[in-house]
Structure 1
């Protein structure tokens, strides 16, 4: 395939669409795309994800959203209703099961059948493709707030077709963020091409009067991802989506744990995304932000887990994220009960309400952090554009090959895996090893100095052991992995 960042024609979209809809029998129910557009247009404004996000952004408030999904339709609806009514969720998800994420629909069907027999969900999410159009519409129709598709799918085309026609008004993921952190052997050329289809489909809906919000997956591989890496991926995915006609984008960032760095990251994500979209001629794009609460290991003790959740809630609110994705006190134990999920929402909502009128004032430390994030992110984005000879689609593929963009701890063989992040003495994420990232001496010296300050404070030489210690720190009740 000749991968380029160029808007697809409608003819190309419709030609490939026939192949996509034929991959599972429920695809036939959405063959009439005009019917899906008509259904979307009939939705009340209260169920349009982007409109609720923009209202929150204008008011300076942070919305709360859980993760949630089970195998059977009635049970899934009941779960979402509980999180809406008891948990106070402002926005709702339908988290998709692992079989569907890998396009293994026959196995997903077996999971549905076994779940019916056992009387409980035996899948780790909602198999939307198997349930098909009408059942997915039942989900949308039986809740009062907007619903998003959350998944983790390298090839998410059929899932998009069914859920968009069913009235879901937000679609998460991207060709980079749902490949490199999730898959081992799937090429970037394929996933970016497949996600161009998804984005062109959403662009087509927009051209026909329907607003669908898009949300690249911000946290990537977890809590030790430097802000410049997640920013670069989010902005490239935003540009790729905008080229295909997407107008509403929510860019994400995963909590790292240091308040100043996290607030700086949220502020610069908004600033840099707007800067680059405007720079390349994508006008009238609406950008909001999402903050993901702690994506690493959790304490097993529920009281301690609430401490982690509350710190994430406070950071999201003080950083003025448009929404926050909420964790539960059962994170260390697996899939949470609906009660635990609601508890996480209520704890977060309490912090959001208490802190909504407060901000982090400008300071030398905050401005310094913002400046280093901007320098690093621009260096990566400009290097991607250069190696791609002006094309971000080509550049991101070549950039991963060259290691000028590199996601730590990712399973993909298309990722260099050379960079090593570790915390500095204040818990901010720095680079113990910058690999082949395109940083100048000033940036590299900055990271070296910050890591060395921690080494001096701990009485040890900076090494890979710091990385290991930081990965396990939260489970032991700390942010920075100090020696005994």
Structure 2
């Protein structure tokens, strides 16, 4: 077995980055095994440097396996691949001849209790997945954060058993995508770094840190520089890379607007020095995209990335995003030597607090807004250990104001040029 095959997902992305190529990846999952295999095959054959994705269905994410079995029995379509329910032999057939050192496949899920999913991965030799104890808990349901932290600690340790199969497990933190929108970049950066440190503390040696495209390209580039610098300063592993997500909030409804936003995401990834991009399609605002739509998005993003100027990334600047992100990370780590325990204490004290997040373990004392230049800013920092400027309220902030901010990117990209 070659070194690249042994190292797996992280080594593949790193090798492509060293060759000057951005890896692009779909968010793809189908309940039918033949369709899932066709999606992987089409992703591999796309005119781009790609990795494959198996996105798990919503029932499996929350452990409702009886609902999965009922859907499969009755021929009801699922919105993802039921990895835990399909026999390992079936999934092995889906992967046969496709998954390998030159086309690694990542499992994406959204679960606060990923142990069943991870066991199913081990059964078929899949070594790459994503999530995190905070980022796959707070936005997705009401699972207590303490349970999620415990589940993810055990999950990381379970994944390390892949080394017995000659595979290096890879975990991507979803922390840079909290709720997909209206979370100022410094906190996205901080949570991504903290989840990466959690993974490393529980034996994961190959990690990717995420950041989701937000509302202002300059602010996003600043955030990526801050994320890179903090990882260089703090991560105890050498195998890590940055992944950018195309905008995770309300997506443009027009074809041109959707592709312009995707093009901006590709440019951001290149200019920000990221090594991988999770794409979205022109159909995101209406329905689950087809295989063909995913391939078109992958190829469009790859072309946009090739055209983007490759400018030096300034990872040393003491930007406001870097200063706030570092202050948040240090404040959390000072609470307890165990990162998981520190995360729990941080949310209890309000040192981490996600704007507009309704999870019971989130204090809800912070608020954000989009300023006139399109930047995401703090309106109220609650008990965050920050001295960030705040916008004085001229009137009561209403649900209409929130909806207006949530639709900001959609309006900007759907407007006639």
Same fold (TM over 0.5): yes
The answer to whether 1:199 aligns with 2:134 is: no
Equivalences for residues 100-115 of structure 1 within 5 A: 100-115=60-75
CA RMSD of aligned residues (A): 2.6
For these two proteins, the number of residue pairs brought into alignment is 410
Q: CA shift at 1:61, angstroms?
A: 2.9
Give, in whole Å, the separation in 2 of the partners of 1:354 and 1:188: 43
Among residues 344, 348, 352, which one is paired with 1:405 in the alignment?
352
Give, in whole Å, the separation in 1 of the partners of 2:3 and 2:378: 47
Among residues 318, 325, 328, which one is paired with 1:380 in the alignment?
328
The answer to whether 1:92 aligns with 2:55 is: no
The answer to whether 1:166 aligns with 2:87 is: no
**Alpha-carbon deviations, 1:275-297, whole Å to 9, x = none?**
122xxxx3x43110100001111
SS at match of 2:334: helix
- Contact 2:57–2:80, Cα closer than 8 Å, also in 1: yes
Alignment partner, residue 302 of structure 1: 255
Equivalences for residues 219-368 of structure 1 within 5 A: 219-277=177-235, 282=236, 284-355=237-308, 358-359=310-311
Q: Which runs of 5+ in 2 are unaligned?
A: none
The answer to whether 1:430 aligns with 2:377 is: yes
Q: CA shift at 1:343, angstroms?
A: 1.5
- Contact 1:182–1:410, Cα closer than 8 Å, also in 2: no
SS at match of 2:240: strand
In structure 2, the CA distance between the partners of 1:111 and 1:413, relative to structure 1 (3 Å rule), is same
Give, in whole Å, the separation in 2 of the partners of 1:314 and 1:52: 21
Q: CA shift at 1:208, angstroms?
A: 6.6
Among residues 358, 367, 370, which one is paired with 1:420 in the alignment?
367
- Contact 1:261–1:428, Cα closer than 8 Å, also in 2: yes
**Alpha-carbon deviations, 1:382-436, whole Å to 9, x = none?**
2212333x33221211111111101223231111122112122321211111121
SS at match of 2:86: helix
- Contact 1:297–1:332, Cα closer than 8 Å, also in 2: yes
Alignment partner, residue 477 of structure 1: 412
Equivalences for residues 13-52 of structure 1 within 5 A: 45=5, 48-52=8-12
**Alpha-carbon deviations, 1:286-335, whole Å to 9, x = none?**
11010000111122221221111111111112112110000000011020
Question: Which has more radius of gyration?
Answer: 1
- Contact 2:6–2:166, Cα closer than 8 Å, also in 1: no
Q: Which runs of 5+ in 1 are unaligned?
A: 1-40, 116-120
In structure 2, the CA distance between the partners of 1:208 and 1:109, relative to structure 1 (3 Å rule), is closer
Identify the range of structure 1 (199-208 vs 187-196) with the bigger mean alpha-carbon deviation: 199-208
In structure 2, the CA distance between the partners of 1:47 and 1:394, relative to structure 1 (3 Å rule), is closer
In structure 2, the CA distance between the partners of 1:46 and 1:69, relative to structure 1 (3 Å rule), is farther
Give, in whole Å, the separation in 2 of the partners of 1:142 and 1:350: 27
Alignment partner, residue 29 of structure 2: 69
Give, in whole Å, the separation in 1 of the partners of 2:401 and 2:287: 27
In structure 2, the CA distance between the partners of 1:252 and 1:294, relative to structure 1 (3 Å rule), is same
Give, in whole Å, the separation in 2 of the partners of 1:78 and 1:432: 47
